[in-house]
Amino acid sequence: MALKKRGSGEQIRPGDMRHQVIIKRGTSTDDGHGGRSASWAEVGRAWANLKPVSVNRALSYGLTLTNKAYEIDMVYENSKYTIDEDAILEVKATGQTLYIQSVLDVDMRNYRYTIFATEKK
């Protein structure tokens, strides 16, 4: 079921949010030999609605077509974590890793976000 577009004052239905996503941010640590080791650390979890993006829509947003693109609608709890292009999302049920391309503040209140992300293979 696709998420219906809603105005800024409308509530999100809990049934629309079917996928649990894990928000991760990159961290780097000393490897003890003069180099750095990069890894991803979990900073939060949220329920989200994931929808594949059509080719036409992906092109209109400037997304690359080499990877499958998704539109993710989610409630943002900004006191817990930050969502931007430096973070990744991991879909818990499928294990997919999605790389954020852009973040849109839907209601202009930092509450509801639409995220466009691609899957790297």
Q: Between 33 and 78, whose confidence is greater?
A: 33
The dotted CATH code for 16-119 is: 2.40.10.270
The tens digit of pLDDT for each residue in 15-63 reads 788 899 988 888 877 777 888 887 888 888 888 999 888 888 878 877 6
pLDDT at 33: 82
Whole-model pTM over 0.85: no
Beta bridge partners of 36: 30
Q: Which two tokens stand for residue 86?
A: 């430096």
